[in-house]
Structure 1
Amino acid sequence: MDRDCEALAGDERGPAEVAEWERIAQLLATTGATYDPEGDAVVQDELTADRRAEEAEQ
C-alpha cells in the first residue's frame, strides 16, 4: 500500500477504498477528463442494480 493509504490498512473497508480510488485514477488517466459519475460505467451498473433491487422489493 502507498504511504498515503497506510491508515486504511487496518480498516476492513481499506482495500476496497484503495482499489476504487485506483480504478477512478486509471479512468481519469485514460480519458483525460474530470470525473463524472454519469460517464462511469461501474457506477451506472451499480445504480441500475440498486433500482432493480428496489423494484423487486415492491
Structure 2
Amino acid sequence: MPCAQLASDPKEHDERPGDEQGRHIFRFDPNGKIVEHWDVLQTIPSASKNDNSMF
C-alpha cells in the first residue's frame, strides 16, 4: 500500500499557540492513482507536555 504524506517544512514557519498545523496523507493504487486521502488539522497548544513538534 504505497502512501505519501505532504507537509510544509516546520523550519520555514514559526509555530505559535493558536496557529494550526496540518497534513495531507494519500494512498495510491499500483497505477499511481490516488484512491484515499486523509487530512489532519490541529490547533497548536499554548503548552506542550514534551519538546516534540506537532508532527
TM-score in terms of structure 1 length:
0.23
**Structure richer in strand, relative to its length:** 2
**More relative contact order, 1 or 2 (CA 8 Å, 6+ apart):** 2
TM-score in terms of structure 2 length:
0.23
Larger Rg over CA atoms: 1
